[in-house]
Amino acid sequence: MEAIKFENVHFSYKSKEEAAKDAVFEEDGAFALNGVDLTVEEGEFVAVLGHNGSGKSTLARLTNGLLTPTEGEITVLGLDAKDSKKIFDLRKQVGIVFQNPDNQTVASIVEDDIAFGPENVGIKREEIGERIDFALQAVGMEQFRHATPNRLSGGQKQRIAIAGVLALKPRIMILDEATAMLDPRGRKEVMDVVLRLNREEKITVLLITHFPEEAMLADRAIVMHKGRIVMQGKPADVLAKEEELKKYSLALPRALRVCRGLSAGGVKTQDSMAAEDVANDIVSSLKTNPKISVIPQKKGAGTGLECLEDENPDVGRVLCENLSYVYNEKSPFATYALNGVNLEIKSGDFFGIIGHTGSGKSTFVQHLNALLKTPSAEKKYRPQRVKKGAPIPPKTVLTVNGFDLTNKKTDFRALRSKVGMVFQYPEYQLFAETVFDDVAFGLKNFNGKLTKEEIETAVRDAIEMVGLRYEDVKKSSPFELSGGQKRRVAIAGVIVTKPEILVLDEPAAGLDPLGKEELMSLLHKIHSDWCKTVIIVSHDMEEIAENCNRAAIFAEGKIVSVGSPKALFENVEGMESLGLDVPFTARLSKALAEKGVVIDSDYTVADFVEKLLVFAKMQGAGTDSTEGGAENA
């Protein structure tokens, strides 16, 4: 039976007259979906890939009746999705998890939020309790049953949103980038649940994702481009078509880049996402005495970082000692988000912050421009007298760009003009009627002496720097843009003031692969041109390896380790024990080392491929892995 059927579906967010005046949607601007034909069988698992703004989220919202097609027919489980009388029956059977969990949080207590859906479709009270237990266990959030959702981290909120849909036990489940904000362990746990529900309960799954590892779990993958379906087939076949992926603004998964880079140099390996399989192919290829060509690899934007020289050593520097922070102190909900953090981020660093969901990463970076303040920086602060004989509490030190953030007399407005912040969810910092006004706001706020022409020039430069066309978007509402476009506008609104420290919380989450590469190239250009220090929070270990010169691992509100990405990722077991992943090249290096082939790389794709080809050319051919005698490359 067909679970979902689209027949020549068109959808426009604007009337034809409005679309003619606004080219945000580029060619065929009237339509976000432009003649889509799609059939999904009941029980099928379909992954939807595509660049930001390609129509993926629109497709999801049309499927459960949140939107109505402009033209064409949509049938879901035999129900006409355009029939308003059938919408309630349709939504009882189609659950959707959005990109931003705040869009579907409705209650003040977690268990009430999860119960909301089952209660509204008439599930018996006793069964609702069982469903709450099942859903919380499925996403690993049992201990937060009585917590308040707005006091959870972004990743924890996303798990609760997924649990709310799981509790409905729908026949069709749609996940719109639902794991984008989760740590690697969280993503795996959620995908295990979704896969089990699909295989055992025969729930139809429509998964919108940018993670190739998730797409590989599906029965079928489809690629969307400018509102049309342009590719579909088995995920492994779709993800292997490098030239076509590039044409549609997507990129080959890093694991396949490694395989193809090695094959091009003479070390023949089959396309695979599994490190152990690739390692076996490499060892077998080395034994056949291949003809090796050491092909220079294209380096990423983050390699060969050069720090800007500055006469003032405080510019771009962060020094933190004994920083603690408690949410809802002196209440039943008191939670230690930070517990004695000590960290120095050096001037000129491109610094990464990694850690599991709820480890304190976002809380820490929000201290860097005083969005969260230490108690001593609050206006009403009065130092407490230490009782006679009591130990003196350790002093908190937090100095950012030369500003003392523990002193309530500090000029915090001046600090914020020098320390720019891009939030986890860009929607939180977009507010104006037009993109121009949103980007210009900070510039006008911090520098009231600029002329109208100077403001327009600066705004134009910032918008075009983040990859948007100024003339197309300047008069558009920022809320009409796709998630990836909103993120670009949010970044433009920060970099327009040219801060000396730029802090980004999950900057690439929700962006398509090429969008991520473009964003990171942009950040490195900013870093080399005028921004002294860049700090990024990320769950993507490949992103950290490719771009950062140093990184810190957070866990349970404390710092576990600080060092170069290479040093951190060498401890594969330690990273996994913290709920984190390592780059594919780190897992591959570990698998090769166990077979006697030791490659010393920095774990970027280009460096790993080049080092292994050098190894193969110099001494790898004919290597017998059982001897264990291979030397370091």
**Per residue in 411-469, pLDDT tens?**
999 999 999 999 877 777 899 999 999 999 999 999 878 999 999 999 999 999 888 89
Under 8 Å between Cβ of 465 and 524 = no
Say how far residue 166 (Cα) sits from the centre of its chain.
22
CATH of 318-383+392-569, one of 3.30.465.10, 3.30.390.30, 3.40.50.720, 3.40.50.300: 3.40.50.300
Convert the pLDDT of each residue in 374-400 to its tens digit: 988 888 877 777 677 667 778 899 999
Residue 633 has a pLDDT of: 52
pLDDT of 92 higher than 50: yes
Lowest mean pLDDT, pick from 188-192, 424-428, 524-528, 584-588: 424-428
Radius of gyration of the chain (CA): 26
Residue 132 has a pLDDT of: 95
**Rounded CA gap, 524 and 541, in Å?**
17
Residue for token pair 């069964």: 127
Residue 80 has a pLDDT of: 93
Neighbours of 384 (CB within 10 A): 8
- What average pLDDT does the structure give for the chain? 87
**Rounded CA gap, 514 and 51, in Å?**
8
DSSP states of 501-536: EEEEESTTTT--HHHHHHHHHHHHHHHHHT-SEEEE
Sheet with strand 172-176: strands edge to edge = 94-97, 172-176, 204-208, 45-50, 220-225, 228-233
Under 8 Å between Cβ of 575 and 539 = no
Token code pair at residue 151? 């006091």
**Rounded CA gap, 188 and 183, in Å?**
9
Residue 298 has a pLDDT of: 67
Please state the domain extents for the chain: 2-247, 254-299+584-620, 318-383+392-569
Listed in sequence order, the DSSP H helices in 371-512 are: 412-418, 435-446, 452-465, 470-473, 483-495
pLDDT bin (cut points 50, 70, 90) of residue 17 is low
Residue 309 has a pLDDT of: 52
> SS3 for 287?
helix
**Rounded CA gap, 81 and 88, in Å?**
10
Under 8 Å between Cβ of 135 and 167 = yes
Beta bridge partners of 534: 350, 502
Q: 452 versus 513: which is more confidently predicted?
A: 452
Domains 2-247 and 318-383+392-569 in one fold: yes
pLDDT of 154 higher than 80: no
Residue for token pair 């291949």: 290
Residues 2-247: name the CATH superfamily.
P-loop containing nucleotide triphosphate hydrolases (3.40.50.300)
71-82: average pLDDT? 94
Residue 623 has a pLDDT of: 46
Under 8 Å between Cβ of 351 and 534 = yes
* Highest mean pLDDT, choosing among 13-22, 102-111, 329-338: 102-111
**Rounded CA gap, 444 and 457, in Å?**
13
**Rounded CA gap, 136 and 187, in Å?**
15
> Phi and psi dihedrals of 276, rounded to 5?
-65, -40
Residue 225 has a pLDDT of: 93
Residue 386 has a pLDDT of: 67
Give percent of the chain above pLDDT 90. Answer: 57
593-602: average pLDDT? 92
Q: How far is CA 355 from CA 316, 318, 551, 577, 617, in A?
A: 23, 19, 10, 11, 38
Residue 324 has a pLDDT of: 94
> SS3 for 49?
strand
pLDDT of 403 higher than 50: yes
Convert the pLDDT of each residue in 36-54 to its tens digit: 999 999 999 999 999 888 8
pLDDT bin (cut points 50, 70, 90) of residue 629 is very low
pLDDT bin (cut points 50, 70, 90) of residue 622 is very low
Closest CA to 248 of 261, 238, 237, 258: 238
Quick one: residue 572, left, alpha or beta (phi over 0 = left, psi -120 to 50 = alpha)?
alpha
Lowest mean pLDDT, pick from 61-65, 252-256, 422-426: 422-426
Say how far residue 366 (Cα) sits from the centre of its chain.
18
pLDDT of 535 higher than 90: yes
Q: 460 versus 213: which is more confidently predicted?
A: 460
Convert the pLDDT of each residue in 276-304 to its tens digit: 999 999 999 888 766 676 666 666 666 55
